[in-house]
Structure 1
Amino acid sequence: MARVYNFSAGPAVLPEPVLAQVRDELLDWHGSGMSVMEMSHRGKEFIDIQHQAETDLRALLGVPSNYKVLFLQGGASLQFSMVPLNLLPVGGHADYVLTGSWAKKAAAEAKRYGTVNVAASSADTNFNRIPTQAELRLDPAAAYVHITGNNTIFGTEYHYTPDTGAVPLVNDASSNILSRPLDVSRFGLIYAGAQKNVGPAGLTLVIVRDDLIGRCREGAPTLLDYAIHAENDSAYNTPPTFAIYVAGLVFKHLLKLGGLPAVEKANIDKAELLYGLLDRSAFYNCPTEPASRSRMNVPFTLTNAELDATFLAEAKKAGLVQLKGHRSVGGMRASIYNAMPLAGVQALVDFMTDFERRYG
């Protein structure tokens, strides 16, 4: 078996020890004689799996007791609708900070249910930076403030938590959740698609403060009401059982590594290694403002764009895959989520150094 270094933005690389445990337990989970994929979501075996996953996630993030943890489906994109349906009253308004494609999509969806105020935007510089606290034009009467914590396409990330006063702060944390410690108490609601740092595609995490539950507007579909899921322990309908199981293994893996402080240190080391090369080189360019750079997604271009296809082809031969950048930015993008080992980033840096030597 020959595994590659997978720099995909998502679905993304998973920890090898987790994949190995999934393989070993696939046919018979803990002597039950069946796979987790075959279990009833209402049976004791799976209820225990889900309970342990929630317990470990709460431990990792220090989730306060007055927050519910929900295991849902539909990805972050469904949360673009669920958030305003649950938090935005009829005739109300919300503040959105636009820092990339997914932030724009979230705001566009919210406009279907109420008024959206653009509290700040970095569109004028092609989303290459995160607006500062001083730039935020926040309305103290807003129902909530929405941010996208990490911008996968443009490679930017919040390195501060906006102060929104008494207005609940909502965070789409899909692409940097569990990559660093996070003060959950600073947020009213956090949501994240699983397919980057948590587990397989199909699971969505929602962490929501108790006082924000039970506000869903009348006439909304039952499955889009946070209260329904909270009252039924995320099992009003069949949850994504296998994805929850794998996520639980990832949570345990991160705890064994030393929790999120240790994970953050590893992510800083990887990011500094790759950004260090980009900053030293005249052959490569990084379009993001240094103060806003993401530790998870690193976009870069070649000075000579005619070499892009050659770079990608040779990288693939070297076992470095999924490096093509998004069309909005062009060039390349290396996604270096939690499960990407330092050795993978070092292999990429070595390849890039050699490629520059040969073509620069």
Structure 2
Amino acid sequence: MPIVSAEKLSKIYPVAVKEPGLKGTLQHFLRRTYREVKAVQDVSFEIEAGEVVGFLGANGAGKTTTLKMLTGLIHPSAGVVRVAGHVPFQRQASFLKQITLVMGQKQQLLWDLPAMDSLRINAAVYNIPDKEFRRMVGELTEMLSLQGKLNQPVRKLSLGERMKAELLAALLHQPKVLFLDEPTLGLDINAQVGVRKFLREYNQLYGATILLTSHYMADITALCQRVLLIHQGQLIYDGSLDGLLDRFAPYREVKVELAHPLPKDDLERGSLASLKSYGEIEAVEGQVVRLLVRREALTRTVAKILAEMDVLDLAVTEPPIEEVIGQVFRAGVVV
């Protein structure tokens, strides 16, 4: 049985419409009219226990709204959702003890107090025995490299240290399901790497299920084998990240450095028939040729280039994942 399931999940918000000017203000006051905003429409998916799933979408696509419905912060307009065997919006204590929600732009730690004080408050809220509290704090502190930081006021910590402390506070009760909304937002490269490493280790150690949203594709590629793509409130893809690349990025770039420049006459006449037999010519710069080659022909083409050309170096690169995801969102559909 999946630990997270959503079936035809929808959320529609009524938004008041106001015309400009005094007349519009009076009409808005006396006879208010509304339009419907479909934030999420008929979204269905299932997540098995222990999975780490990326949840991607442009700003306003419906990611955070979906997370809020999954955690019970808002009531869905339609559809059925269950998390860890519970209906989230009922907000039962047994449900809240099994989940956590971390939002990169929000904080739960008290700004002027040491993080340890906030951790003790969380321990009291979740009825965590003192012995278990000390064990979890020690274990998570080591995993997050926060030694010596928890007794400092939160405002004295760096942004990366604060985010790690927020994660520690959110995981103190050992939740089974982690909903993470932009957990590396604003962090520098080293802090991002540290958070990713921790989440990977936490998933492996505790078997926790993670649903992760992020605008940093490095988070997704480092942690998630499966991704959900939402566009204008509708789920347009549910599958492996590699499968998305296969379907939407059928080409690879082959960069070839030749031992000798191509004949000048060929370049001036644009006569590059010999190169065109290997793939689509992307650029020719001196001794360097960049070609676009279809995935299915890649092995054969590389072997042919090495056999027929005087090559100093050859490199095959994937298209940037950001570029692929951007293409999907611009198209609004995965074909």
TM-score interval, smaller chain: under 0.3
TM-score by length of 2: 0.28
**Of Structure 1 and Structure 2, which has the larger fraction of its residues in strand?**
2
Higher relative contact order (CA 8 A, sep 6+): 1
